[in-house]
Amino acid sequence: MRITVETIVRAPLATVWRAYSAPEDIVEWNAASDDWHTTRSAVDLRAGGTFNSRMEAKDGSAGFDFEGTYTKVVPMETIEYSFGDRTASVRFSEAEVGVRVTVAFDPETEFPEEMQKQGWQAILDNFKRYVEAL
């Protein structure tokens, strides 16, 4: 079963797309809570290209790399990727008041699905706040 989170961002599609896929923007919004941050990001946004973001607790107590390979990229519409043995997709669609961003992903087995959904939703909410403040 895939988990889905979504938001509507009140901004033009080109702005939303760029902020979601540009490393300099990703380091600004990619965290589930205020005590975590992304210290670096690299993106090769094309099918077969890779991505890597370093996420760390601000107090230095923990950190991990979130990395994978893009499997499908349709500019301004779709990003699909694999990470480990899991996959995810991000869809961008025009909405009445902005852009709907929908992220669907395969859950992992270590943490409860509801916890995973809340974490990915929190990151997406940070993305929304960041883009709407640009």
Contact 1, 123 (CB under 8 A): no
CB 129 within 8 A of CB 32: no
Angle formed by the axes of helices 113-132 and 13-21, nearest 10°: 120
Find, among 89, 93, 98, the residue nearest to 128 by Cα.
98
Overall average pLDDT of the 31-51 stretch: 96
Q: How many domains does the chain have?
A: 1
Q: What is the pLDDT of residues 54-72, one digit of tens each?
A: 999 999 999 999 999 999 9
Q: What does the DSSP 8-state code read for residue 31?
A: -
Neighbours of 10 (CB within 10 A): 12
Taken as a whole, the chain contains a residue count of 134
Residue range 77-125, pLDDT digits in tens = 999 999 999 999 999 999 999 999 999 999 999 999 999 999 999 999 9
Domain that includes residue 39, residue range: 3-132
State residue 100 phi and psi, 5-degree precision.
Answer: -85, 125
- For residue range 3-24, list pLDDT tens digits in order: 999 999 999 999 999 999 999 9
- β partners of residue 94: 99
Which residue blocks in 10-112 are alpha helix, DSSP H? Answer: 13-21, 23-29
pLDDT number for residue 24: 98
Residue 33 sits in a domain of what CATH number?
A: 3.30.530.20
Q: Which amino acid is at 43?
A: V
For strands 3-9 and 36-43, give the pairing.
Answer: unpaired
Phi-psi region of 31 (alpha: psi -120 to 50; beta: other; left: phi over 0): beta
